[in-house]
């Protein structure tokens, strides 16, 4: 039986996912934020971490970096509802084994923790459509934002747009592919 630490600020999602992972034979401990997750990681004997990208006002990426520094052998999977290439690359660079976008199946998380990929239902590489212009813009904004350390003022200046315009773009959900 694996012992997992699930960190997500959305209580309903966190508890639903914990029950689903528990039904698959895993012992799941939950945490709502960065501080409680760090405290639990030092006391528990975990075999895997599942971390949300956005933890209220905190970033899940900072938790990934801390967990990877403390326990580098334990796999970390990052979940997000706001996926971008920039944050995916940053998560992996900081020590995450995989990066999955919500909605996600519990079995996909377990495969990712083991270092496997679930290719069911994925189109062959030759059938992938190019991203829309809106999606390319979103990815570019996310990359510039990551490069500036999430400094909206600096990112807006580099992008050549008004700070408020950038904030409005960031408040929207990412466009579909």
Residues 60 and 27 grouped into a single domain: yes
Residues 11 and 34 grouped into a single domain: yes
The answer as to whether 138 is a domain residue is yes
Q: Is the pLDDT of residue 132 over 50?
A: yes
The answer as to whether 72 is a domain residue is yes
Average pLDDT over the chain reads: 85
Residue 100: give its domain's CATH number. 3.40.50.2300
The answer as to whether 120 is a domain residue is no
Pairwise CA distance, residues 161 & 150, whole Å: 16
Q: What is the pLDDT of residue 123?
A: 46
Q: How far is CA 153 from CA 16, 159, 161, 166, 174, in A?
A: 37, 10, 10, 9, 20
**66 Cβ neighbours under 8 A, 6+ residues apart:** 38
pLDDT tens-place string over residues 92-125: 999 999 999 888 899 999 999 988 865 554 444 5
pLDDT tens-place string over residues 38-63: 999 888 789 999 999 888 888 889 99
Parent domain of 17:
3-113
Counting the structural domains of the chain, the total is 2
């Amino acid at each position: 039986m694996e012992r997992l630490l699930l960190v997500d600020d959305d209580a309903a999602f966190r508890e639903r996912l914990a029950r689903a992972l528990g039904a698959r034979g895993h012992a799941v401990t939950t945490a709502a934020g960065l501080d409680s997750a760090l405290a639990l990681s030092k006391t528990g004997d975990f075999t895997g971490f599942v971390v949300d990208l956005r933890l209220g006002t905190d970033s899940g990426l900072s938790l990934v970096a801390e967990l990877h520094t403390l326990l580098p052998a334990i796999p970390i999977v990052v979940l997000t509802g706001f996926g971008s290439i920039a944050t995916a690359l940053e998560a992996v660079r900081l020590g995450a084994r995989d990066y999955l976008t919500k909605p996600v199946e519990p079995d996909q998380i377990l495969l990712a923790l083991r270092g496997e990929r679930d290719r069911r239902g994925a189109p062959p590489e030759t059938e992938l459509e190019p991203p829309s212009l809106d999606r390319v813009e979103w990815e570019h904004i996310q990359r510039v934002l990551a490069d500036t350390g999430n400094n909206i003022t600096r990112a807006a200046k580099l992008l050549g747009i008004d700070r408020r315009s950038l904030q409005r773009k960031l408040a929207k959900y990412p466009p579909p592919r």
